[in-house]
A and B are shown apart, each in its own frame.
Chain A
Amino acid sequence: MEQQLKQLEQEALAKLQAAANLKELNDVRVAYLGKKGPITDLLKGMGKLSPEERPKMGALVNAVRENVTAQLEERVAVLEEQAILEQLEKESIDVTLPGRKVRQGNRHPLTRVIEEIEDLFVSMGYEIAEGPEVEKDYYNFEALNLPKGHPARDMQDTFYITEETLLRTHTSPVQARTMELKKGEPIRIICPGKVFRRDNDDATHSHQFMQIEGLVIGENIRMSDLKGTLDALAKKMFGDDREIRLRPSFFPFTEPSVEMDISCFKCGGKGCNVCKHTGWIEILGAGMVHPNVLEMAGYDSKKVSGFAFGIGAERIAMLKYGVDDIRHFYTNDSRFLSQFHRTEG
């Protein structure tokens, strides 16, 4: 019997090793350790043994069973691991194939520029003011020290709707409206929006374009405040190492009036094609609010002063991104628009 047991053990262990997968292994387990298996049979047959032999045999059978069980478990672990490896192998993929990209659009480059400027000024305590694109002659010109027949009206060719209404030629009427609304109170606003001029569309002209203007009114607003504010704007839009310079200019609604240049961001001031070899790039017009403008809106020009500035969003975007034709902003070619997706800096 002992011999028989040893032989069974050998057989079982051999079949365990031979089992190629978990199913075959289970068959081996059922065959040898199951209720109807030979080891169970042997245990059942122990009744025929003498009382002295029984414990000895019992121990022996148990030992065999434990050994087979242990080896079986070991073998199960091996085969399970093997099965997982096979599964992993089967499931492995070419990770270099492209993913299922989630479609994403993005802002128009002009909106991108405008929001960047809005955010800068909001952080400095400004509000954003908006107004109608169809304006009254009064807000677009007269309230800005440009009475009818003023030669400076020629600076802006205008689309008229009637004698008294027109497509605004700048966002300055929003300033005039805000001043009228605030009735003498201090103002800090930024005014973005579409504006219109009678121009034939070409690489550098567009009958519709976008402007962002700023207006600050309060007690003791100085030209140095304007310069400091414009410096912050130049650095935000074109980099911290930009320098600015002011040049005298003329706008009917400001006195003194200036134009602001920035040091060329491409050549750093040495002279290149971007700055037309001057080292400086003209960016915007600005000035101290003309007392007539303040008075027309009900401000006491002896008590308060202010500054204003106006930027063309297209000009900023063209310089910043190197766009060479203003019409790109209005043809809405996906191949153009999709380039303004990623972040910078």
Chain B
Amino acid sequence: MLVSLNWLRQYVDIDGIAPEELAEKITRSGIEVDAVIDRSQGMTNVVVGHVVSKEKHPDADKLNVCQVEVGEGDIRQIICGAPNVAADQKVIVALPGARLPGGVKIKKAKMRGQESNGMICSLQELGVEGRVVPKAYAEGIYVLPKDTVPGSDALELIGLRDTVLELGLTPNRSDALSMLGVAYEVAAILSQEVKLPEIQYQTVSEKAEDYIKVSVEAKENPLYAAKVVKNVKIAESPLWLQHYLMAAGVRPHNNVVDITNYILMEYGQPLHAFDYDALKSSEILVRLANEGEKIVTLDDQERSLKAHNLVITNGQEPVAIAGVMGGANSEVTSDTTTVVIEAAYFDGFSVRRTSKELGLRSDSSARFEKGVDPNRVLIAGERAAQLLAELAGGEVLEGTVAVDDLDKSPARVVVSPDFINNRLGMKISLEDMLSILNRLQFDVEAANGMLIIDAPTRRQDIKIEEDIVEEIARLYGYDEIPMTLPEGNEQIGGLTPYQAKRRIARNVMEGAGLYQAVTYSLTSDELAQKFALKAEDTTKLLMPMSEERSTLRQSLIPHLIEAAGYNVARKADSVALYEIGSVFLGKTEDELPYEEEHLALVLSGKWVDHAWQGEKLTVDFFVAKGIIESLFEKLGLTDRISFEKANVDGLHPGQTAAILLDGEKVGIIGGLHPIERKKYDLKETFVAELNLKAVLGAEVEELVYASVPRFPAITRDIALELDRSKPAGEIIEVIRAAGTKLLKEVKVFDVYEGDKMEAGKKSVAFSLTYFDPERTLTDEEVVSAHNKVLKALTEAGAELR
């Protein structure tokens, strides 16, 4: 909402307050002022000129040499290129020395050899937005009425000596979508009165009801009133009206349309003017549209209607979409002589639905949607009749033709002062409360310790006690509210075990050298299931903004790979990222996808780079696996985790494992397939993903101290010849199973595949540690235990080297 202070002054006294100060007061008490706009923008030396003569420039087709009177007897030659400049016009002239918006300075100049002493201006050159400039002047200079005086201040005349407040209105304050609404607000803040427009006009003896009949067949339209004005002379509106509209961001058209728009801005009540003759009937029938019914709206678009859209008809065909836009068939044109003014109350929900469906948002629909003041509908119609008589020479027919079932009673709220103070944590006196409510012009009565309030109907947002709390508090001043903390807390705050473990998981990842990434949950349909631990039905947006962000992901890996690619493309030689986030799987009973929190990581490029020591290590499978193993160790799950060779689309078939917790798959780890690497221009890249929900959710035993060994351990090494494809992990399982309780640790300390081995074979060496925490082991005991291991290995087909 753009509020011209010159216009606002018509209703409330704001003299002596600087615009910035007023803006601050309005902002602090409830309505945010987004901007304070000085419409003069520091312009100087802009005056009214009279074009005495106009001749073609001798050396330039598109230029004219004009003699312009800019003060009594002060005639100057000005070159003008506007197509619409003509002799005897009154125009706006920027004299040499003038400053215009955008840092333009006007100087004396020669144009193609002809002297020019100033510039004849368009409104755009004076900083008026092109979209609100009347169409007649949109492509050229602005022409003033004949009776304006050369040399006088043009800015004053066209309303640019004004300040506009741009209000950022929240949906509840639709009352401030009108100048009068803003006036009430400002009056409450400044403890001033509101001066309402005086509505008086003459009527002719003919009756409106003899011209038009109104009937309503839809509950969405509880009030429809029509006024008829004859012998209207369509013309430009007076300057003041045009400039108020332009200040409010509305383009002037002609006096009839401008009057309806003026009242829309003044009262917040949308009106519509029909050309009576174009209605081709003496009937207005409001009804729901027939499915598929067509209407061409004022913007020359044909609209197809649905059965729930409310339309105004001439008894047969639609002439307007109620509250949204008029029809082209009944539009006011330059030939119009008799107009029907519609003042109506349309249901907000219905208007909102229709305007949304048709993609037609207008100043009118915006106000109906939020609910207009029921008590202003008829007044606005009267105001229109008055202005049509005053400004368009119209003759107002007697009476209003109306169907009126609208409830216009105010909302009553009963609230105790104690409730207000308790809710605020304050001690505002009853007197102060009454004073504030009076300033707001709420009807209030204090009785039996209660405030009985009838809120004016323009304030549709006032319904319950809490609304009164807010009104009192905002005008009393939020700065006056003290600062306290909630009392009576019996809750001990904290993180849940899962939340605490998740932070630990973050610490492990970061301690291992990985940065936490956050990527988008939305991805493309193509990537949604890629690398998924378990692919299930995907969740797709109804109306995605792009294919790239259309579907919810089932794995975190694709976006991490993209992030790795992004970093490598920017010359990063080492990438190590992890992410914790949800994946979205299938659908649960309550129609929502099953959300599972996962942890994923990506490693690419160098891992260790101690450059001057010459120690370098590129990431490999075991770097990634080591990090995952560290996490399991921290979580106390090491003994319950196993890795099993696996195949995952997009991962290297020889370097991929499934991660199992108690035998259940909880993750994958692997090298990125060379073909995938190529897509993102990545070198060696490894990824892993865990079902964090399962991993952190696994219950582990309480931590109990085990005695620190006081007796020596004995180690025995075994070297085995194995098939190249035989996983060492299986051998370790065999050793662990066969080792007695004396076997405490099994480590792989060497793996060899090469010339010295038979083709298809490898050598793996294990170091076994035996000890007993209670005593020193004897040789025999160790030999006996170790022999059991050797025997089991032989049985498992492993060959001792």
A residues with a Cβ closer than 8 A to B are: 97-98, 100, 102-108, 110-111, 115, 118, 121-128, 130, 132-136, 149, 151-152, 154-155, 159-162, 164-165, 167, 186, 188, 194, 196, 198, 200, 207-208, 210, 216, 218-225, 227-229, 231-232, 245-250, 252, 255-258, 288, 290-291, 305, 329-335, 337-338
In whole angstroms, how far apart are the Cα atoms of A186 and B492 in the complex?
12
Chain A residues near B487 (CB, 8 Å)? 220, 225
Closest A residue to B27 by beta carbon equals: A247
Q: Are B570 and A333 in contact (CB under 8 A)?
A: yes
Quote the shortest CB–CB distance from A99 to chain B (angstroms). Answer: 9
25 contacts between A and B (CB under 8 A): A102-B513, A103-B608, A104-B511, A105-B515, A107-B506, A107-B510, A111-B516, A125-B491, A133-B521, A149-B352, A151-B370, A159-B522, A159-B543, A160-B541, A161-B539, A167-B541, A227-B482, A228-B482, A248-B29, A248-B30, A329-B518, A333-B570, A334-B572, A334-B575, A337-B515
Chain B residues near A97 (CB, 8 Å)? 612
Chain B residues near A167 (CB, 8 Å)? 521-522, 541
Q: Are A105 and B521 in contact (CB under 8 A)?
A: no
Q: Are B517 and A149 in contact (CB under 8 A)?
A: no
Chain A residues near B540 (CB, 8 Å)? 161
**Given A103-B512, A250-B173, residue A221 in contact with residue B486 (CB < 8 A):** yes
* Interface SS of A by simple majority: mixed
Interface residues of B in 482-521 (CB under 8 A from A): 482-496, 499, 503, 506, 509-521
**Given A104-B511, A125-B492, residue A160 in contact with residue B542 (CB < 8 A):** yes
Quote the shortest CB–CB distance from B187 to chain A (angstroms). Answer: 17
In whole angstroms, how far apart are the Cα atoms of A258 and B494 in the complex?
28
Please tell me if B426 contacts chain A, counting CB pairs below 8 Å. yes
Q: Are A186 and B173 in contact (CB under 8 A)?
A: no
Chain A residues near B665 (CB, 8 Å)? none
In whole angstroms, how far apart are the Cα atoms of A125 and B422 in the complex?
23
Q: Are A110 and B518 in contact (CB under 8 A)?
A: yes
**Given A224-B424, A288-B423, residue A218 in contact with residue B486 (CB < 8 A):** yes
Apart from A135-B592, A165-B592: 9 A-B pairs, beta carbons within 8 A: A104-B513, A110-B518, A134-B584, A134-B592, A186-B491, A218-B488, A222-B484, A249-B32, A290-B466
Quote the shortest CB–CB distance from A133 to chain B (angstroms). Answer: 6
In whole angstroms, how far apart are the Cα atoms of A182 and B607 in the complex?
49
Closest A residue to B464 by beta carbon equals: A291
Please tell me if B178 contacts chain A, counting CB pairs below 8 Å. no
In whole angstroms, how far apart are the Cα atoms of A74 and B567 in the complex?
66
Chain B residues near A245 (CB, 8 Å)? 478-479
Please tell me if B425 contacts chain A, counting CB pairs below 8 Å. yes
In whole angstroms, how far apart are the Cα atoms of A228 and B497 in the complex?
30
In whole angstroms, how far apart are the Cα atoms of A188 and B170 in the complex?
28
Q: How many A-B residue pairs have CB under 8 A?
A: 248
In whole angstroms, how far apart are the Cα atoms of A188 and B491 in the complex?
8
Please tell me if B680 contacts chain A, counting CB pairs below 8 Å. no
Q: Are A222 and B485 in contact (CB under 8 A)?
A: no
Q: Are B493 and A256 in contact (CB under 8 A)?
A: no
Quote the shortest CB–CB distance from A120 to chain B (angstroms). Answer: 10
Quote the shortest CB–CB distance from B475 to chain A (angstroms). Answer: 9
Q: Are A334 and B515 in contact (CB under 8 A)?
A: yes
B residues with a Cβ closer than 8 A to A are: 27-30, 32, 170-173, 348-349, 352-353, 369-370, 422-426, 464-467, 469-470, 473-474, 478-479, 481-496, 499, 503, 506, 509-522, 539-545, 549, 552, 563, 566-567, 570, 572, 575-578, 581-582, 584, 590-593, 595, 607-608, 610, 612-613, 615
Quote the shortest CB–CB distance from A129 to chain B (angstroms). Answer: 9
Q: Are A255 and B486 in contact (CB under 8 A)?
A: no
Chain A residues near B545 (CB, 8 Å)? 198, 200, 207
**Given A134-B595, A337-B515, residue A256 in contact with residue B425 (CB < 8 A):** no
Chain B residues near A288 (CB, 8 Å)? 423, 466, 469
Residue among B27, B172, B464 with max Cβ neighbours from chain A (10 Å)? B172
Q: Are A164 and B32 in contact (CB under 8 A)?
A: no
Q: Are A331 and B493 in contact (CB under 8 A)?
A: no
Which of B482, B503, B521, B578 makes the CB contact (< 8 A) with A194? B521
Q: Are B518 and A108 in contact (CB under 8 A)?
A: yes
Closest B residue to A97 by beta carbon equals: B612
Quote the shortest CB–CB distance from A96 to chain B (angstroms). Answer: 12
Residue among A128, A227, A245 with max Cβ neighbours from chain B (10 Å)? A227
Q: Are B478 and A224 in contact (CB under 8 A)?
A: no
* Interface SS of B by simple majority: mixed
**Given A186-B491, A222-B424, residue A333 in contact with residue B567 (CB < 8 A):** yes
Closest A residue to B576 by beta carbon equals: A105
Chain B residues near A330 (CB, 8 Å)? 518-520
**Given A122-B495, A151-B352, residue A223 in contact with residue B483 (CB < 8 A):** no
Chain A residues near B171 (CB, 8 Å)? 151-152, 154-155, 250, 252
Q: Are B509 and A247 in contact (CB under 8 A)?
A: no
**Given A107-B510, A222-B425, A290-B466, residue A208 in contact with residue B489 (CB < 8 A):** no
Q: Which 4 pairs between the two chains have the least Cβ-Cβ distance?
A: A224-B425, A103-B513, A222-B425, A250-B170
Q: Are B423 and A222 in contact (CB under 8 A)?
A: yes
Quote the shortest CB–CB distance from A217 to chain B (angstroms). Answer: 10
Residue among A125, A208, A256, A329 with max Cβ neighbours from chain B (10 Å)? A256
In whole angstroms, how far apart are the Cα atoms of A210 and B488 in the complex?
31
Residue among B466, B486, B514 with max Cβ neighbours from chain A (10 Å)? B486
In whole angstroms, how far apart are the Cα atoms of A167 and B552 in the complex?
10
Quote the shortest CB–CB distance from B570 to chain A (angstroms). Answer: 7
**Given A161-B540, A229-B485, residue A107 in contact with residue B516 (CB < 8 A):** yes
Q: Are B478 and A246 in contact (CB under 8 A)?
A: yes
Chain A residues near B425 (CB, 8 Å)? 222-225
Q: Are A125 and B489 in contact (CB under 8 A)?
A: yes
Quote the shortest CB–CB distance from A17 to chain B (angstroms). Answer: 43
Quote the shortest CB–CB distance from A262 to chain B (angstroms). Answer: 14
Q: Are B518 and A122 in contact (CB under 8 A)?
A: no
Chain B residues near A134 (CB, 8 Å)? 539, 552, 584, 592-593, 595
Residue among B426, B467, B470, B522 with max Cβ neighbours from chain A (10 Å)? B470
Q: Are B515 and A106 in contact (CB under 8 A)?
A: yes
Quote the shortest CB–CB distance from A250 to chain B (angstroms). Answer: 3
In whole angstroms, how far apart are the Cα atoms of A323 and B297 in the complex?
47
Q: Are B510 and A104 in contact (CB under 8 A)?
A: yes
Chain A residues near B172 (CB, 8 Å)? 152, 250
In whole angstroms, how far apart are the Cα atoms of A55 and B509 in the complex?
82
**Given A105-B509, A122-B493, A248-B474, residue A164 in contact with residue B542 (CB < 8 A):** no
Which of B470, B510, B520, B582 makes the CB contact (< 8 A) with A106? B510
Chain A residues near B610 (CB, 8 Å)? 100
Closest A residue to B559 by beta carbon equals: A332
Q: Are B592 and A128 in contact (CB under 8 A)?
A: no
Closest A residue to B475 by beta carbon equals: A248
Q: Are A132 and B592 in contact (CB under 8 A)?
A: yes
Q: Are A224 and B481 in contact (CB under 8 A)?
A: yes
Closest A residue to B615 by beta carbon equals: A100
Q: Are A337 and B493 in contact (CB under 8 A)?
A: no
**Given A122-B494, A222-B424, residue A331 in contact with residue B563 (CB < 8 A):** yes
Quote the shortest CB–CB distance from A194 to chain B (angstroms). Answer: 6
Chain B residues near A105 (CB, 8 Å)? 509-516, 576, 578
In whole angstroms, how far apart are the Cα atoms of A23 and B168 in the complex?
95
Closest B residue to A258 by beta carbon equals: B478
Chain A residues near B426 (CB, 8 Å)? 223-224
Chain B residues near A291 (CB, 8 Å)? 464-466
Chain A residues near B567 (CB, 8 Å)? 332-334
Closest A residue to B543 by beta carbon equals: A160
Which of B469, B473, B491, B510 makes the CB contact (< 8 A) with A127? B491
In whole angstroms, how far apart are the Cα atoms of A152 and B516 in the complex?
36
Chain A residues near B582 (CB, 8 Å)? 132-133, 194
Chain B residues near A231 (CB, 8 Å)? 483
Residue among B474, B516, B542, B595 with max Cβ neighbours from chain A (10 Å)? B516
Chain A residues near B490 (CB, 8 Å)? 186
